[in-house]
Each structure stands twice: as structure tokens, then as C-alpha cells.
Structure 1
Amino acid sequence: MKTIRVVAAIIRDKDKIFATQRGYGEFKDGWEFPGGKIEEGETPQDALKREIMEELDTEIKVGELIDTIEYDYPTFHLSMDCFWAEVITGHLVLKEAEAAKWLTKEQLDSVDWLPADVTLIDKIRIEL
């Protein structure tokens, strides 16, 4: 099974985190943490900064690694490094996602998370 390595930003603003809804592809309409694939020669942190600039027109500061999620989808294995992040400059402009929300700890279960992303929710809830 093919492994896809990606990074995800858990963008935090005080007691809220930023979630996006996929606007394309096999998992369209599912909710996820923004990010994307790691390109050859990139560190996960550099990939995350690049992806957030591309997808949200926003510069972020990448914080500590929360977890690396290993998840088997039917056609591929996902390895996702998930980092805390905060906005440095920009306004989180949606260039690829169809929707976005700031969620409090109590609202984390209010969206339909993609299967790999949902495995991170309990760890985030503890930190918020």
C-alpha cells in the first residue's frame, strides 16, 4: 500500500482552533486541519508553512509536534505530522477549502471530521 506523508496545522487562537472543509477530491465536504503533502527535500515544518501560505494566504509560526497520525484509508496509508501553529500575518483566506470555522473545545464534535483527523480531537481537547 502506498504511503502519503502530509503535515497538518492545528492553528490556535486562544481557546479556539481552525478547521477547514475540503472543497475537492475523494474526501470533499469532510472537515480537516489545513496542510498538505511534504515535498522532496522539505522538512515537515517547511512544508506546513508553504502549504498554509498556498491554501490560506497566511504566514504561520509552527509550534511543537502534537502527534504523528498513522491511518489506513482503503487505497493508501496516511502518515500525518500534526503541529500546533499560530498566525503571524494574513487573514486565513480560503483558496482551496469550501468552508472554515473556528471551533471551541465544546464545538470540536460539531463537524464531520475526516477519519485520520478525528483521531487527534481528544489530544486537542485536552490542550484547549
Structure 2
Amino acid sequence: MKTVRVVAAVIRAVNKENKPIIFATQRGYGEFKGGWEFPGGKIESGETPQQALKWEIMEELDTEIAVGELIDTIEYDYPNFHLSMDCFWCEVIHGELILKEAEDAKWLTKEHLADVEWLPADVTLIEKIGEELHETKDSK
């Protein structure tokens, strides 16, 4: 089975109530159109995961991010390929998160992480992210 290596940005911020929130996007194209995911994309030959992530977020959201700590590497078997996804905590440095490819986007608090229909590979991250959001009171 073909392996596809990708990176995903778990972009976090703090809302007006000083609660930690994360950014989720809804796929606007392809086989998984309409599913919710963390933004990112494929790692090209010669790129580090961090370089790929910065490039993908600039391309998809017109935003510059700082790539932080690796949260996890998700290994997931879809019917036609194996996905290997490096997921990093990220923060916006510059830009407004303009949707260039996604159909929709939402900022979600820990309590609302389950309010969207996540793509299967992304679901495996939700519990871990929820725990981190709970512990991170003053992240920005």
C-alpha cells in the first residue's frame, strides 16, 4: 500500500474569554470533501516537516505560522493508502487565516472539539489535543 507523508498544523490561540481554541478547516475538494481536518499538506522531497507545514499554511491560508512542538505522528490506513501525519502545535505570526482551499473553518474550544465531523485520521488526535488545551490556560 502506498504511504503518503503529510504534516498538520494544530493552530492554537486564546478567545475573548481567555479560553484556548484551535483552528479546524473543512475540506473543499477531493475524496474527503466536507470532512473536517487540521490544515496542512504533503511533505515534498527535500523538505523537513516544519518547512512543509510553513509552506502549506502560507499557500492554503495566506498566513505565516510558528511551528512548535510535535504533538504526535498519526499512522492511519485509508482504503487506498497509508497516511503518516506529523502533527505540530502552531501559532499565527502574521496574517488573517484566509481560506484559499477550504470550504469553511472554525475556532473550537475544548468543549466543542466534537462538534464537527473530523476525518478519520484527525479523530485520533482529538483526545490528545483536548487534554493539552485543558492544561494550557495561558497559551497564545
TM-score strictly above 0.5: yes
Q: Which runs of 4+ in 1 moved over 4 A?
A: none
Aligned to 1:46: 51
Between the aligned partners of 1:78 and 1:127, the Cα distance in structure 2 is 23
Give the TM-score taking structure 1 as reference length. 1.00
Between the aligned partners of 1:74 and 1:40, the Cα distance in structure 2 is 24
Max Rg structure: 2
Aligned to 1:103: 108
Query: Which of residues 105, 125, 128 is equivalent to 2:130?
Result: 125
**Count of matched residue positions in the alignment of Structure 1 and Structure 2:** 128
Partner SS, residue 23 of structure 1? coil
Aligned to 2:38: 33
Aligned to 2:136: none
Query: Which of residues 78, 89, 94 is equivalent to 2:94?
Result: 89
Offset of residue 9 of structure 1: 0.2
Offset of residue 74 of structure 1: 0.2
Any idea what the Cα deviations from partners look like across 1:5-50, whole Å, max 9, x if unmatched?
Answer: 0000000002000000000000000000000000000000000000
Aligned to 1:113: 118
Give the TM-score taking structure 2 as reference length. 0.91
- Percentage of identical aligned residues: 81
Aligned to 2:13: 13
Gaps of 5+ in 1: none
Partner SS, residue 30 of structure 2? coil
Offset of residue 111 of structure 1: 0.1
Gaps of 5+ in 2: 15-19, 134-140
Any idea what the Cα deviations from partners look like across 1:76-117, whole Å, max 9, x if unmatched?
Answer: 000000000000000000000000000000000000000000
Alignment RMSD, CA only? 0.3
Query: Which of residues 68, 71, 76 is equivalent to 1:71?
Result: 76
